[in-house]
Amino acid sequence: MELKRVAIVANGFKESAPRIASEIENYLKKRGVISTTIVTKEETDYESIDTDTDLVITVGGDGTVLSCARVILEYGIPILAVNLGTFGYITEIGSNEWKEALEEIFEDKETLTRRLTLKVSVYRNERKVFQGFALNEVVVSSAGISKIVRLDVNINKTFAGNFRSDGLIIATPTGSTGYSLAAGGPILYSDMSAIVVTPVCPFTLSNRPLVVGSNEVVTIDVCKGQRTDLLLTVDGQQTFEILESDEIVVEKSRSRILLISSKKRNYTEVLRSKLNWSGGGFHA
């Protein structure tokens, strides 16, 4: 990867982010690379990223990556995610590892992963009223607390069932370790081409999580007679009010997010260290 222009996106709510961003900018300057630092506090701040950028370095947590990903998705710009948070699945590079990661890029030794993303469209009276993109998940749920919603789900236009639950999560492999996992969904390896459909606290115990191929199209029809307002949430950051009889179509996006992965740890090691996935049993 040839670096000529780099955007450094620092989470303005994390005290150490601007300082680390400054260190990265100084390092890149010595290597003859033009860089711009964007300190973000609003969603619109991410729109300052130039489309001719060769690399985006995020300094923050997973939320910073998610916000950034939506802006640059169609441009195919790789992301080097530096983790300042306490818990990060997407941000694999530690705050003391960014220099080593950049050295690997300069030596053409970096490892790129291509993460599946979802496109979600909402149709109302046969007219598209919303479109968004998710790296983690799309959620349809009640706008209130502990209110059951009723949703008809179709997979590739084949009726899959009527779900009475607190909500429904459509997650990518990247997002399988987030809200979907907390709701009882499976963990998928991040480079898989699959989609997880996970009901949240279903009224019927037979409504279990379902893994489908990434080419499947999941259509959610909002049933009439809801006893609560409904909300569509994209990556926990974007929201849109859903009405009865709306049709929500979730499918694989044509673009994937390019993430530079750590060479110090693989995905299994991330799961083991951050989820204690290995348990606490005896190891010989």
What is the dihedral sign for C-alpha 122, 124, 128, 130? negative
DSSP letter assigned to residue 145: S
**pLDDT score, position 284:** 47
pLDDT > 60? residue 283: no
pLDDT > 60? residue 213: yes
Burial class (CB in 10 A: 0-12, 13-18, 19+), 273: exposed
**pLDDT score, position 81:** 94
CA 244 to chain CA centroid, nearest Å:
27
pLDDT > 60? residue 127: yes
Question: Which domains does the chain show, CATH number per domain?
Answer: 5-115+256-275 (3.40.50.10330), 118-252 (2.60.200.30)
* Catalytic residue status for 62: yes
**pLDDT score, position 282:** 47
Among 166, 170, 163, 145, residue whose Cα is nearest residue 223:
163
Neighbours of 144 (CB within 10 A): 12
Burial class (CB in 10 A: 0-12, 13-18, 19+), 232: buried
Q: How far apart are CA 246 and CA 29, in angstroms?
A: 51
Among 152, 158, 27, 153, residue whose Cα is nearest residue 80:
27
**pLDDT score, position 91:** 82
Overall pTM > 0.75:
yes
Q: What's the order of all strands across the beta sheet hosting 167-171?
A: 210-213, 194-200, 167-171, 137-142, 230-234, 238-242
Q: Which residue's structure tokens are 């609560």?
A: 228
User: What is the rounded average pLDDT of the residues 180-184?
Assistant: 95
Distances (CA, A) of 63 to 21, 40, 255, 256, 272: 17, 11, 20, 17, 21
Where is 23: in which H helix or E strand?
A: helix 17-30
Beta strands in 215-284 (DSSP E): 218-222, 230-234, 238-242, 247-252, 257-260
pLDDT > 60? residue 142: yes
Distances (CA, A) of 182 to 11, 76, 177: 26, 30, 8
pLDDT tens per residue across span 75-90: 999 999 999 866 567 8
- Considering the candidates 62, 221, 235, 246, report the single residue annotated as catalytic: 62
Q: How far apart are CA 163 and CA 151, in angstroms?
A: 5
Lowest mean pLDDT among 30-34, 98-102, 232-236, 273-277: 273-277
Mean pLDDT of the chain: 91
pLDDT tens per residue across span 221-280: 999 999 899 999 999 999 999 999 999 999 999 999 999 987 766 667 766 766 666 565
User: What is the rounded average pLDDT of the residues 133-137?
Assistant: 97
User: What is the rounded average pLDDT of the residues 101-126?
Assistant: 95
